[in-house]
Structure 1
Amino acid sequence: MSGIVDLIENKFFLYEKEKKGKGKLEDVPADISEEIEISHGELMEAVAEVDDELIEKYLESGELTEEEFSRGLKEGIQNGQLIPVLCGSALENIGVDLLLEAVVKYLPSPENRIPVKAKKIEDNTEITVSANGSDVASALVFKTVADPYAGKLTLFRMFSGAIKGDSSIYNTSKNVSERIGQLYMLQGKTQISVSEISAGDIGTVAKLKQTITGDTFSSSNEKVIFPPIVFPLPVFSRALLPKTRADEEKISHALQRLTEEDPTLKVERNSQTGELLISGLGQVHFDVSLERLKARFGVEVDVKAPQIPYLEAIKGTTKVQGKYKKQTGGKGQFGDTWIEISPLKRGEGFIFENKIVGGAIPKTYIPAVEKGIEEAMASGIIAHYPMVDVKVSLYDGSYHNVDSSEMAFKIAGSLGFKKGIPDCKPILIEPVMNMAIVVPNDQVGDIMGDLNAKRGKIQGIDPGEDIQKDPCPCSYGRSVELCSGFNFNDWRKRNVCDGVRPL
């Protein structure tokens, strides 16, 4: 990047390689002048549609004056009809000066912005919060930062009222009061001490114990809460393995700090595979998070693709006897069960049904039979994956007055289940993810072919969004494959677990 065209004023700013950050006004390059003229006209038309008077003027004369253009642009941005898009590079110090000028020139002040919607805690009624004429404090926490010296920093935006230093503020989201110490405003990494943060300002406070990103601050005598921030769902997952024992001891705390700062980062321990999984918005997001993990917390990890949490199920039904009998010369063990094993619909889990009548098995032994079957389901017969979506009905059996016990019936239930499963047509099933992908029209055919080759099932094609189901083994790292295998970067993917299907 070497220059930026301001479509509003049709001006071209050239940036030198010395990275001084100040654009030099030049003539618009001839090879893009026609394209710029067309884009300027489209922008003017969009601005004119903000106001009836402006659109009427535009339709009559085909253009707006500079004053009308500026007024319509400000009005459209203020009421949310227009969203300004500015380009630049912070790394190369290009366009930052134009960004600051645009903020001052076109964005509304806190007093003029659209009132923010909130709800009163006492009666759940919806209200609007503005910076004008309200002494009631309300603020939204939009970011937390782990500072190596100051500890946890909480950044918040005041929407009404004010917060003073060395006081208390009520966290409506957590239903607790937090003690406020010294307040700061940030300029880059510099913390400037202030006595209070007023409506419209962005403030910072250190070492709040329970506040996280998305929480609401309000006055304790008039509690309000803002709608929660909706974060994008993770689309990229990897398993982490600490390199050393020291890394293993530090990793839990370090990951907790990272997720406090970045709510789009998710960390979980897979209950089936036992792996520590970290999920984010893509390869770059993942790489940056690992760099921060190493640089700020001194934790190094090995990375690998997650194990796929396969499951086992059945397609058939059978009736089988499970009998456990052991004689040792003294008190023996005896448990006798008859069970029916049948499949359930996907997602129904496990159902145990007691059909015993006439006291064939005493009630005190029934829970032991169920527990034995549940333990047997933890390891299937195909590949030792957990079994799901199975119904077991206990309908008959027998017991011994002396030798029967809970342990005997637990073993009998387990033996019967393991004996009957081979006759129930066991199957291996895999988790399925929902994916939404946006691609250029000329790439649709290639992408569909690639997805079909990886056993993806196309749910439909929409001019706005394409949603398809992809098996989990093919979903991990899918974003990287799409960007590297095809010549486009304008794509979006959403992974949502959507049950399982047979392999």
Structure 2
Amino acid sequence: MGEIRVESVRNIALVSNVGAGKTSLTEALLYASGAIPTLGSVLHGTTVSDFEPEELHHHCSASTSLLQFTWNQTAITLVDSPGALSLLGESLSALRAVDAVIIVLNPGTGVRAELARLWHRVRELDLPCLVFVNGLDKEGASFDAALDLCRTQLECAPIPMVLPVRSGSSFDSVIDLLNNTVIRSGGSSPKVERTAVPPEMEQAVKQARKQLIEAVAEREEGLLNSYLEQGDLSLNQLVEGLRSDILTRQFLPVYAGSALRNVGVWSLLNACVTLLPSPAERMAIHSVPGRHPETGQPSERKGSLQEPFSGLIFKTIIDPFVGRLSYCRVLSGTIHADSTVLNGTKQVREKLGHFYTISGKKHMAVGSALSGDIVAIGKLKDTQTGDTLCAESVPICYPGLELPRPVLSFAIEAKSKSEIDKVSLGLHKLIEEDPTLEFIRNPETKDMVLSGMGQLHIDLALEKLRRKFGAEVTVHTPKVPYRETIKATSQAQGKYKKQTGGHGQYGDCWLEIAPLARGEGFVFENRVVGGAIPRNFIPAIEKGVVEAMQEGGLSGFPVVDVRVTVYDGSFHAVDSSEMSFKIAGSMAFKKAMEAGHPVLLEPLMLVEIEVPTDTVGAVMGDINARRGRIVSVQANDHAEQIKALMPLAELLKYTPALNAMTGGRGSYAMECAHYEEVPRELAGKIIEEHMSERHAVAAH
């Protein structure tokens, strides 16, 4: 009975560009299956999958939602994830939880950057796919144009499974090539009408069906022999051949219709059940590789109910009222609510809370979960997104989620001092929900910096921060962590002498400071001879130098890459102390810095930029305009990877600029390479602005 249950489950992700109609298609599938009584609308905020206030405000999906229903005695879980490029992390995480994918393709929007990247990950994960061409009720929409997009942009061989009857405003039916039947939408009803193929389309249907049968037959010897002998394949042979070819990704079946008019949805529903694999079928040929968390030895699970329990947490939701919910894809075995398991990633025990199946915002408690199920687990203590849960007796750890790094940063300030802790706590909770967000407190610039994948990503995070945690913030561009150093060797004396009642203070030292190579930091040397300064006072001098380096005399930025040598001085047998020599060391360092031709340094980032080939010239020109230096250019499929060194100051607003140059198809990642001297013509302006800010803060 258990194995039958696993065979009658489908976990399917829907992915698309923004505006392709993915959420509308989700709604149409629910409606056609009888799961909901009426079709909801994205525009009116009435869809099952988009229910968060931020989604209703922006009229687009902002987070992954699960939708569960049944069709032909099969339990289907649809995973509807955002299509926006800046929310790509949600969609990439969702792909680890499913066994198949439906690509929603709209001829009007084409294949944009977000869909291209998702398609790349789908191929990496070797996930079986269907394509649904949406929006054929729009004027000018072309099914043939969509097939061309599959060939050129997705680089695959599309096989039409339906043919549209008419297009534009009169579009209301498709011809299902498997059943050789016209399927007409019921309009306001989820029911459909089946009729014979019209005479004027018989030839086109015959040709398309022949193409489909030949594509299936040529991949399996038994089917090919049957086709050559009989000139046709039975429906059962055709379906079995298609299932095998889709499971092994031999070609890409393409369906078509209109989600808004409920056209073509019935055929897609049947394809989900008859053509896409169950979790057991998928994992039988594509088990998930893992490792033993202690020994590191390879380990795997085939997905059977008889195997030990294992599961992957692919999403976390934290609500101030409901608490923490962790979305888990059960990859093997059976697990019961309130059990104790091992977090294989962190190697700690976890007591499981209640289990829930989820459809939109509705939660239904269940007592257990089987291999292939997707459930939400309540109140996990130490488990986060990307972690593995497993049986303690047979531990395993699966690879974590591969998520993109943030590329856009803003400094944020709480609107009142009383809300600083509330902001910090709220953002840390949001990062647990969405690991593609980052939040740090920069100890140098004193900024609280929030980083994300794009403007929409940051906006949504701040809206959630306000709604869920009641924290209001203001946003501005983060400060650049500049540094100071010197270009010439110099010497200076620091002499601190103070006479008061009783013991006085006396410290006297001579320092030499010299520049070091970039990245060498700070070196302190003692060359005092003859006891001019007692050895026990030398550490105090170094301490005074280190404190003075925190604020350079040029503009108050930290000093780096200098060698400081104490070589002479004097002391008083009674008045000298560690404090007096610490002050003397600080005084000497500041004087020597002034004489050492101080300069301003800025962080240089190593940036890896991936752009379409047709935009390389514009991007490289922009890199040069931003004071960047191109390190290398390498071809990568239909894209080019540019490596360049660029000043961080020129990258603070680079994301919208790159999107504009590449039509949203470019991406980049960066890390700090080293510091370099700021050009003289810019240094003066930076110093002036920084000093003005410091004076303003001091006055305030």
Letter in 1 for 2:560: V
* Mapped pair 1:473 → 2:624: no
Q: What is the identity percentage for the equivalent residue pairs of Structure 1 and Structure 2?
A: 40
Q: Distance in 1 between matches of 2:258 and 2:290?
A: 35
Question: Residues 93 and 472 from structure 1, CA distance in 2 versus in 1: closer, same or farther, beyond 3 angstroms?
Answer: farther
Aligned equivalent of 1:30:
none
* Mapped pair 1:498 → 2:667: no
Letter in 1 for 2:666: W
Question: Residues 304 and 83 from structure 1, CA distance in 2 versus in 1: closer, same or farther, beyond 3 angstroms?
Answer: farther
CA contact (8 A) 2:316 2:327 kept: yes
Aligned equivalent of 2:48:
none
Deviation per CA, 1:38-93, whole angstroms, max 9, x where unpaired? Answer: 9x99xx99x999x7979x99xx9xxx989999767755664578899999999999
Q: Distance in 1 between matches of 2:159 and 2:542?
A: 73
- The Cα of 1:418 is off from its aligned counterpart by 0.7
Letter in 2 for 1:163: I
- The Cα of 1:185 is off from its aligned counterpart by 1.6
Q: Distance in 1 between matches of 2:517 and 2:260?
A: 54
SS in 1 for 2:584: helix
Letter in 2 for 1:481: A
Deviation per CA, 1:317-360, whole angstroms, max 9, x where unpaired? Answer: 22333222223353222222232212222222222223344544
Alignment map for 1:174-323 (pairs within 5 Å)? 174-245=346-417, 247-323=419-495
Q: Which runs of no fewer than 5 residues in structure 1 stay unpaired?
A: 28-33
Letter in 1 for 2:677: P
- The Cα of 1:154 is off from its aligned counterpart by 0.8
Aligned equivalent of 2:27:
none
Aligned equivalent of 1:109:
278
Letter in 2 for 1:489: G
Q: Distance in 2 between matches of 1:81 and 1:91?
A: 31
CA contact (8 A) 1:322 1:415 kept: yes
TM-score with structure 1 length normalisation? 0.84
Aligned equivalent of 2:570:
398
The correspondence for 2:585, drawn from 402, 413, 425, is 413
Deviation per CA, 1:94-132, whole angstroms, max 9, x where unpaired? Answer: 988777555444443222321111111342211112212
* Mapped pair 1:127 → 2:299: yes
* Mapped pair 1:386 → 2:561: no
Higher mean displacement: 487-496 or 414-423: 487-496
**Equivalent residue pairs, number:** 484
* Mapped pair 1:8 → 2:180: no
SS in 2 for 1:373: helix
CA contact (8 A) 1:21 1:96 kept: no
CA contact (8 A) 2:405 2:453 kept: yes
- The Cα of 1:286 is off from its aligned counterpart by 1.4
Q: Distance in 2 between matches of 1:443 and 1:202?
A: 41
Q: Distance in 2 between matches of 1:24 and 1:355?
A: 96
The correspondence for 1:352, drawn from 506, 521, 524, is 524
SS in 2 for 1:439: strand
The correspondence for 2:602, drawn from 427, 430, 448, is 430
- The Cα of 1:247 is off from its aligned counterpart by 4.0
CA contact (8 A) 1:21 1:95 kept: no
- The Cα of 1:137 is off from its aligned counterpart by 1.6
The correspondence for 1:489, drawn from 661, 664, 669, is 664
Deviation per CA, 1:162-211, whole angstroms, max 9, x where unpaired? Answer: 22112212222233222222211212222122111111211211112221
CA contact (8 A) 1:235 1:281 kept: yes
- The Cα of 1:149 is off from its aligned counterpart by 4.0
CA contact (8 A) 2:287 2:301 kept: yes
CA contact (8 A) 1:231 1:264 kept: yes
Deviation per CA, 1:432-481, whole angstroms, max 9, x where unpaired? Answer: 22323333334322222222112122222222211222211111121112
Q: Distance in 1 between matches of 2:194 and 2:666?
A: 35
Q: Which runs of no fewer than 5 residues in structure 2 stay unpaired?
A: 1-105, 107-134, 137-142, 148-157, 173-184, 198-203, 679-700
Q: Distance in 1 between matches of 2:419 and 2:258?
A: 36
Alpha-carbon RMSD across the aligned residues, in angstroms, is 3.9
- The Cα of 1:237 is off from its aligned counterpart by 0.4
CA contact (8 A) 2:159 2:253 kept: no
Letter in 2 for 1:494: A
- The Cα of 1:236 is off from its aligned counterpart by 0.4
